Chains A and B, each alone.
Chain A
């Protein structure tokens, strides 16, 4: 299980720069990043190398920040991997709320899952042997 940072952001010019400036100044590196867009505002979600530090820095800079548990899955960077995992979760009745993926030199392809039932999903993924148990660096 890894920690994801969610930040409320108004849909206005310069807002993303304000968030990333805070991270840059603290020397924090982004590992995964996505924005859920909802018209007047959006939610920035990210996985970073120094989670605690990033969370505190954003909070003291005045952002509405939330820390969540998400699951990360490490798979081979090849066709059919996401299919295999989402099918297994679906068959066990686990609802995926959202998912995003990234690749890096250190890891194989990493897929971030936000699910309805964390414990159940964790069991499914462990059984498949894909649950990422390392540390994001």
Chain B
């Protein structure tokens, strides 16, 4: 995994986990990789993954079963979506708006493109 974005690594890992959940690759009540497994896979310090998991527990996206591991919590989809949505609106959207403004684009222009994109990738 490449960490190019400007966000702290533990938050980028949180995004990664949210994406797995939103794409339903990791399902509700299923066990997710352990701290160590994810640290090895992403080549990061296990303490960083630990911090991500603590953060995601606070957001009620995952929960810990002592001695067994971490699981996707029942309200995870809703919570992951609202967490990511806030983040997107606050951080990514201003960038998009800035570019649209510079290029003289109207939000209406985006609608057919968005529909086409959904059909191509997630239909």
Q: Do A and B bind each other?
A: no
